[in-house]
Amino acid sequence: AIFLIKKKIHFLYIFIFNQYFCVFVQYFRCLDMVAVDGQFTFTADRPQLSCAAFLLAEPDQVIEVEYDSVDIDCRGGDFITVFDGWVMKGEKFPSSQDHPLPLHERYVNYCSMGSLRTTVRSNQNVAMVFFRVHNAGSSFTLTLRKHVNPFPCNVMSQTPEGSYTMVIPQQHRNCSFSIVYPVAIDISEFSLGRFNNVPKVKSMPGCADSGDLVQLLGGNSLDTMKLVPITDVCVSFTGPTHMKVACDNTVVRMVSSGTFVNRVSFSYRMLDRHELQNIKLNNVEDFCFNN
Ligand SMILES: *[C@@H]1O[C@H](CO)[C@@H](O)[C@H](O)[C@H]1NC(C)=O
């Protein structure tokens, strides 16, 4: 399932690159991934019963979907539904555990929205639009906007390499940063508030009682809840911790009790073919647990 997302992100690179050089009308295809900005139109040339557009913005942005004009047959079973996150085969990002809304509130169907409301806003840098139309000629136009998110919590990486600092400012919540590539990752710093504890990295059993920790998770699911813990860090340290994770999805998840201002910094890059092969051959310390 994740393979599809990866392919699409690569397409998106090319798409964003092209956008600097040409101005054009933007259309949704039945299966699409788009960098959020501007107006998008879908027009059915035949019945399309199962369509989805993955929307992606920068890590510190949320996405707003506005309905401009809609010509579909709600009574006939057509729908346009915005999902707050990404979902594939029942696997969700952010996972139900980490999202502020209960699952049913993350789906907003245009056909049952009422006429007073015309926009839907996501809680993180990814969202999704599902749609089904039974009649050729049915169409709709949406405007996708990006808004600054001053306190990003859950984030889907736009790229296979980069660096990021996640901060949870004295809130009792958990945040995940997901990278849908096999990566080499360096956690350079984890700190609780202003305290500088003795540099020490504890292995998993020692972190079980800690209300504040960073988990490195890996696996082949989009859903953080289905991933396996690779290592936990629960005492402030100034790194680096270097790991290679040969999984489809690598997640840095921070658990926060609300007592401290938790902060974790990390950088990552995609593993090359040679590294992946080595990991598979001598499966000693670094591997994907979920194969
Ligand atoms: C955060 O995650 C921990 C462990 O995964 C869980 O026990 C706790 O209930 C979560 N907190 C919130 C606010 O969801």
Q: Give, using CA atoms, the residue closest to atom 11 of ligand 1.
A: 173
Query: 152 alpha carbon to ligand 1 midpoint, in Å?
Result: 17
Mutate to test the pocket of ligand 1, among 95, 97, 225 (most ligand atoms within 8 A of CB): 97
> Would you say the CB of residue 172 lies under 6 angstroms from ligand 1?
yes
- Quick check: 202 pLDDT over 80? no
- Quick check: 136 pLDDT over 90? yes
Query: Residue 198 — pLDDT band, cuts 50, 70, 90?
Result: very low
Query: 235 alpha carbon to ligand 1 midpoint, in Å?
Result: 18
Cα 290 to chain center, whole Å?
20
Give the right CATH number for 2-148 from 3.40.47.10, 3.30.365.10, 2.60.120.290, 3.20.20.240.
2.60.120.290
pLDDT score for 290: 38
Both tokens of 90, joined, read: 């029942």
Could you give the CA distance from residue 136 to residue 159 in angstroms, rounded to a whole number?
A: 36
The residues spanned by each domain of the chain are 2-148, 159-281
> Would you say the CB of residue 215 lies under 6 angstroms from ligand 1?
no
> Would you say the CB of residue 255 lies under 6 angstroms from ligand 1?
yes
Could you give the CA distance from residue 226 to residue 1 in angstroms, rounded to a whole number?
A: 14
Query: 212 alpha carbon to ligand 1 midpoint, in Å?
Result: 10
Shortest-distance atom of ligand 1 to CA 97: 14
- Mean pLDDT of all residues belonging to the chain: 85
Query: 175 alpha carbon to ligand 1 midpoint, in Å?
Result: 10
pLDDT score for 25: 67
- Quick check: 204 pLDDT over 50? no
Query: 22 alpha carbon to ligand 1 midpoint, in Å?
Result: 46
SS percent in the chain: helix, strand, coil, step 5? 15, 45, 40
> Would you say the CB of residue 214 lies under 6 angstroms from ligand 1?
no
Residue in the structure block whose two tokens are 């993180």: 124
Query: 99 alpha carbon to ligand 1 midpoint, in Å?
Result: 11
pLDDT score for 16: 55
- Quick check: 20 pLDDT over 70? no
Query: Residue 286 — pLDDT band, cuts 50, 70, 90?
Result: very low
pLDDT score for 241: 79
Q: Give, using CA atoms, the residue closest to atom 5 of ligand 1.
A: 255
Asked whether the beta carbons of 31 and 127 are under 8 A apart, the reply is no
What does the pLDDT look like over 103-129, one tens digit per residue? 999 999 999 987 777 899 999 999 999
- Quick check: 22 pLDDT over 60? no
Shortest-distance atom of ligand 1 to CA 256: 1
- Quick check: 207 pLDDT over 90? no
The domain defined by 159-281 carries CATH number 2.60.120.290: yes
> Same fold for the domain at 2-148 and the one at 159-281?
yes
Among 29-38, 40-49, 277-286, whose mean pLDDT is lowest? 277-286
Asked whether the beta carbons of 54 and 72 are under 8 A apart, the reply is no
pLDDT score for 118: 87
Could you give the CA distance from residue 95 to residue 232 in angstroms, rounded to a whole number?
A: 19
pLDDT score for 291: 44
What does the pLDDT look like over 246-284, one tens digit per residue? 898 999 999 998 888 899 999 999 999 888 888 777 665
- Quick check: 48 pLDDT over 90? yes
Could you give the CA distance from residue 44 to residue 217 in angstroms, rounded to a whole number?
A: 40
Could you give the CA distance from residue 259 to residue 245 in angstroms, rounded to a whole number?
A: 31
Q: Give, using CA atoms, the residue closest to atom 6 of ligand 1.
A: 255
> Would you say the CB of residue 210 lies under 6 angstroms from ligand 1?
no
Query: Residue 15 — pLDDT band, cuts 50, 70, 90?
Result: low
> What is the percentage of the chain residues whose pLDDT exceeds 90?
58
Could you give the CA distance from residue 36 to residue 16 in angstroms, rounded to a whole number?
A: 10
pLDDT score for 270: 95
